[in-house]
């Protein structure tokens, strides 16, 4: 039976749907009623407990407050209790049908003319009055390497004689990252120190990283997992992918160049990573799924990584942007300048293939596990997802609109990532913002 996008859509995706909250109906809002992403929040500066919330316009629906009103019963009531906790893990561990049911109930209650408008207005908290925590307890974090454009570009810098290793087109490459250093948007961290070796030096030295870089990635949150020894089939992955966020996987390129062989990233990657607060659900992204295609000249995926469904709907057209805010721009009150823009649709491997491959050996995923997509560079030079690529390995200055230049990041620089989905016949939805600041290295 053929697979169509229409089969993934329901009344929550209706582009004509509007909310009784005016800010949710503005044309460029990230959070119209068609989105309804999840986060963990509290009122900024308060001693309140962190709890689950859903974004709508410029407000947050406090799910703990909504749960106490007891307006719903059955699985909706159970889901709201789970969302009242300080992490979303228990909610994410529920079946995908429960995620969908809560989203549908919220959509109905937030729709223009809804009978529950008065009750839900009592549960609103302004987003500009909130602070956020990680949306879930991230037990394990795997970083993939799914952009062939990034892999080829970086490979040509580190291995000019052999830029793309032969296994890349056969297997989704990944490594086990450090979940303890993942922080929420607003994260500020000191420049990392480590061991590097200059090309003309006889021995390595230890000191602050000189080639600090960002990586523009998509973060993928796992919901319900699988038992140890069991696999997740490619076409079943929608039951396990809870949603996505923006992800900045910071990288110390000089430390990376010295340490990465033979076992790959270590200290170059484990000092900090930053996620945006909101998880845009897999269901909300359904209108923006698109076909995934492999160049006919390339090896075609093995059977466990190939299906009609994955070919028809495996890619997501998520627009990704990176902006740089320098101390000079900040002091002048000027906006951050855009460095790059690309799309997640260029990914060589799909999210479904990441999940299927991760579990083909029986690895057990659990609710809250996190995948990084790898740097999402597009086919054109201006779509590069890192300064390493934009500066050609530090050989060329990247010129900013105010006359400043960069090859890599300097102390006081902040990187801002934004993402959104937009296409004809669907309501634009966004991911919010992922902001992080580089502090000087500690003495």
> What pLDDT score was predicted for residue 366?
97
* Whole-number percent of the chain with pLDDT over 90: 92
CATH code, 141-439: 3.90.850.10
Give me the catalytic one of 150, 240, 346, 357.
150
Average model confidence (pLDDT) for the chain? 96
pLDDT digits (tens, 9 = 90+) for 378-389: 999 899 999 999
Count of C-beta atoms within a 10 Å radius of residue 343: 18
Give the residue-averaged pLDDT of 393-420. Answer: 97
pLDDT higher than threshold 50 for residue 113: yes
pLDDT digits (tens, 9 = 90+) for 340-349: 999 999 999 9
pLDDT higher than threshold 80 for residue 158: no
pLDDT digits (tens, 9 = 90+) for 280-323: 999 999 999 999 999 999 999 999 999 999 999 999 999 999 99
pLDDT higher than threshold 90 for residue 336: yes
pLDDT higher than threshold 60 for residue 1: no
pLDDT digits (tens, 9 = 90+) for 417-426: 999 999 999 9
pLDDT digits (tens, 9 = 90+) for 232-251: 999 999 999 999 999 999 99
pLDDT higher than threshold 60 for residue 35: yes
Give the residue-averaged pLDDT of 154-182. Answer: 89
* Whole-number percent of the chain with pLDDT over 70: 100
> What pLDDT score was predicted for residue 154?
85
pLDDT higher than threshold 70 for residue 72: yes
Contacts of 172 (CB under 8 A, 6+ apart): 144, 145, 146, 305, 349, 353, 354, 357, 358
pLDDT higher than threshold 70 for residue 261: yes
> What pLDDT score was predicted for residue 57?
98
Q: Reply yes or no on whether 150 is catalytic.
A: yes
User: Facing residues of 398 across strands?
Assistant: 406
Given a contact cutoff of 8 angstroms between Cβ atoms, the answer to whether 213 and 399 are in contact is no
| Class of residue 205 by CB neighbours under 10 A (exposed 0-12, middle 13-18, buried 19+) | exposed
Looking at the domain covering 5-133, what would its CATH class be? mainly beta
Residue with the bigger pLDDT between 21 and 151: it is: 21
pLDDT higher than threshold 60 for residue 329: yes
SS (H, E, C) 354-385: HHHHHHCCCCCCCCCCEEECCCCCCCCHHHCC
User: Facing residues of 135 across strands?
Assistant: none
> What pLDDT score was predicted for residue 2?
65
**Domain coordinates of the chain in residue numbers?**
5-133, 141-439
């Amino acid at each position: 039976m053929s697979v169509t996008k229409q089969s993934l859509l329901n009344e929550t995706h209706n582009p004509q749907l509007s909310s009784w909250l005016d800010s949710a109906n503005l044309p460029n809002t990230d959070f119209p009623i068609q989105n309804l992403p999840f986060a963990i929040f509290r009122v900024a500066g308060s001693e309140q407990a962190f709890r689950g919330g859903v974004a709508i316009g410029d407000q947050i629906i406090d799910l703990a407050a909504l749960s106490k009103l007891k307006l719903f019963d059955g699985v909706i009531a159970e889901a709201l209790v789970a969302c009242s906790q300080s992490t979303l893990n228990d909610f994410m561990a529920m079946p995908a049908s429960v995620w969908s049911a809560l989203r549908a109930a919220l959509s109905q209650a937030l729709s223009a003319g809804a009978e529950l408008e008065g009750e839900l207005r009592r549960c609103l908290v302004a987003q500009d009055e909130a602070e956020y925590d990680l949306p879930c307890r991230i037990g394990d974090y795997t970083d993939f390497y799914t952009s062939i454009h990034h892999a080829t570009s970086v490979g040509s810098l580190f291995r000019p004689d052999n830029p793309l290793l032969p296994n890349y087109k056969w297997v989704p490459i990944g490594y086990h990252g450090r979940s303890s250093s993942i922080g929420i948007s607003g994260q500020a961290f000191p420049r990392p120190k480590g061991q590097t070796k200059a090309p003309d030096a006889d021995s390595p030295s230890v000191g602050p990283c000189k080639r600090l870089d960002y990586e523009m990635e998509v973060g993928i949150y796992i919901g319900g997992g699988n038992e140890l020894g069991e696999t997740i089939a490619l076409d079943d992955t929608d039951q396990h992918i809870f949603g996505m966020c923006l992800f900045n996987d910071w990288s110390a390129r000089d430390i990376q160049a010295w340490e990465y062989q033979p076992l790959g990233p270590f200290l170059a990657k484990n000092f900090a990573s930053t996620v945006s607060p909101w998880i845009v659900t897999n269901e909300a992204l359904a209108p923006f799924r698109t076909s995934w295609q492999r160049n006919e000249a390339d090896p075609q995926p093995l059977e466990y990584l190939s299906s009609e469904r994955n070919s028809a709907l495996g890619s997501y057209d998520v627009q990704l942007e990176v902006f740089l805010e320098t101390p000079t721009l900040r002091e002048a009150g000027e906006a951050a300048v855009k460095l790059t823009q690309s799309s997640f649709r260029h990914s060589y491997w799909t999210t479904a293939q990441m999940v299927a491959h991760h579990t083909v050996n029986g690895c057990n995923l659990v609710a809250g596990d996190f995948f990084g997509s790898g740097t999402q560079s597009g086919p054109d030079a201006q779509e590069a997802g890192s300064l390493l690529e934009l500066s050609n390995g530090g050989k060329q200055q990247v010129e900013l609109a105010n006359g400043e230049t960069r090859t890599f990041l300097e102390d006081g620089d902040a990187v801002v990532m934004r993402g959104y989905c937009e296409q004809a016949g669907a309501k634009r939805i966004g991911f919010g913002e992922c902001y992080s600041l580089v502090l000087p290295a500690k003495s």
